[in-house]
Amino acid sequence: MKTCTKCGKTKPRDMFSKNAASKDGLQSNCKACSAERYRRWHEQNADAKREYSRLYCEANAEAMREYNRRWREQNPEKERERHRRWREQNAEKAREKDRRWREANAEAARAYGRHYSKANPHIFRASAARRRASLVQSTPAWSDGETVARIYRVAALATRAFGEQYHVDHIVPLRGKNATGLHVHCNLRVIPARENSRKNAKLDEQLALDRAALARSLGALILRARAALEVL
Ligand SMILES: [Zn+2]
């Protein structure tokens, strides 16, 4: 038996770790006390490490950014994977980020869109085909094709007149979250493309319900576009 100098308890010899340097060949602290001391040291050390890392990051924010940038540059595969995972887990945030980026970089976004569709023709063709199929599925037999075509011509006219891309937008989205819109003239409006991407498939009930207001806004747009073109 041996008494631990730490807890003062007397325990069998195998409750003490070996220490060749000591007289009786055992450590002065029992195993339980050693384990406890190690645990506490580890805990304090982890705290210290976290605190140090925080202080370091604060003091070296610029250096860290540079380091991270270089790491991303040197590990493009890992970075892409990290980015992909983040987007998967933060779909909502990712969409919002994309939207803000497009807003701040309209020209670059268009260029990227062109570049992307050229570099990925299969994806682009597939999504165009899906859009067409969705249009066909959403077009009832009674849809007034002539009026629909006229609305698309208004979008082209506005694009030409205002020097900005105008889109035909489905007020109730064809594949909306809570409703399924139709490809009919009374569900169409002409708006700047930047507004279209912002809407994010949300239902604009006011316009969907107020057909007269819709017609008025379309008529007003035609008049404004014609005036703008005449001025030019
Ligand atoms: Zn002890």
> How far is ligand 1, taken at its centre, from the CA of residue 17, in Å?
11
- Helix-, strand-, coil-residue percentages of the chain, each rounded to 5: 70, 10, 20
> How far is ligand 1, taken at its centre, from the CA of residue 5, in Å?
7
> How far is ligand 1, taken at its centre, from the CA of residue 6, in Å?
5
> How far is ligand 1, taken at its centre, from the CA of residue 54, in Å?
36
Strands 16-18 and 10-11: unpaired
What pLDDT, on the 0 to 100 scale, is given for residue 7? 94
Provide the β-strand partners of residue 168.
190
> How far is ligand 1, taken at its centre, from the CA of residue 36, in Å?
9
> How far is ligand 1, taken at its centre, from the CA of residue 31, in Å?
7
> How far is ligand 1, taken at its centre, from the CA of residue 48, in Å?
26
CA 232/CA 226 separation, integer angstroms: 10
What pLDDT, on the 0 to 100 scale, is given for residue 14? 94
CA 112/CA 197 separation, integer angstroms: 15
> How far is ligand 1, taken at its centre, from the CA of residue 49, in Å?
28
> How far is ligand 1, taken at its centre, from the CA of residue 38, in Å?
13
> How far is ligand 1, taken at its centre, from the CA of residue 34, in Å?
7
> How far is ligand 1, taken at its centre, from the CA of residue 4, in Å?
5
> How far is ligand 1, taken at its centre, from the CA of residue 178, in Å?
67
The token pair that represents 153 in the structure block: 């011509």
What pLDDT, on the 0 to 100 scale, is given for residue 199? 55
> How far is ligand 1, taken at its centre, from the CA of residue 46, in Å?
24
> How far is ligand 1, taken at its centre, from the CA of residue 33, in Å?
4
CA 146/CA 68 separation, integer angstroms: 56
Q: For the CA atoms of 194, 197, 199, 201, what is the dihedral angle to 10 degrees?
A: 160
> How far is ligand 1, taken at its centre, from the CA of residue 23, in Å?
18
> How far is ligand 1, taken at its centre, from the CA of residue 29, in Å?
5
The token pair that represents 50 in the structure block: 């976290």
Q: Is the dihedral of CA 73, 79, 83, 86 positive or negative?
A: negative
Residue with tokens 């014609």: 226
Contact 107, 193 (CB under 8 A): no
What pLDDT, on the 0 to 100 scale, is given for residue 201? 46
Ranges of the chain with pLDDT below 70: 49, 52-65, 67, 112, 116-117, 120, 122-124, 126, 176-179, 196-212, 231-232
